[in-house]
Amino acid sequence: MSTRHGKEKFSQALMDASPEINGRCRISCAKAFKLALKNGVSIKTIGKCCNENGIKISSCQLGLFK
């Protein structure tokens, strides 16, 4: 995802998939993986976008994030 428009479009899709729970946007690890696959981006990119947009990853498949 090298274009600015592509990144903005993906960031919006990420925000749409991350409901606000207790005042903080969250996305499950499994949902993040699916979104990355669907949009052709790396897991690293989705993690970076989550950090940039203040989205917390929950229900981590590796047990890293709760």
Q: Are 27 and 57 in contact (CB under 8 A)?
A: yes
Residues 6+ apart with CB under 8 A from 55: 14, 15, 18, 25, 26, 27, 49
65 in any annotated domain: no
- What is the rounded distance in angstroms from the CA atom of residue 3 to the CA atom of residue 22? 33
Residues 31-57 have a mean pLDDT of: 90
Is residue 63, in this structure, part of any structural domain at all? no
Structural domains counted in the chain: 1
Q: How does pLDDT run across 3-27, given as a tens digit for each residue?
A: 555 677 778 888 889 989 888 899 9
Mean pLDDT of the chain: 83
Share of the chain above pLDDT 70, in %: 80
Pick the more confident residue, 2 or 31: 31
The residue segments making up the domain with residue 17 are: 4-58
In a domain? residue 64: no
Q: What is the pTM of this model?
A: 0.74
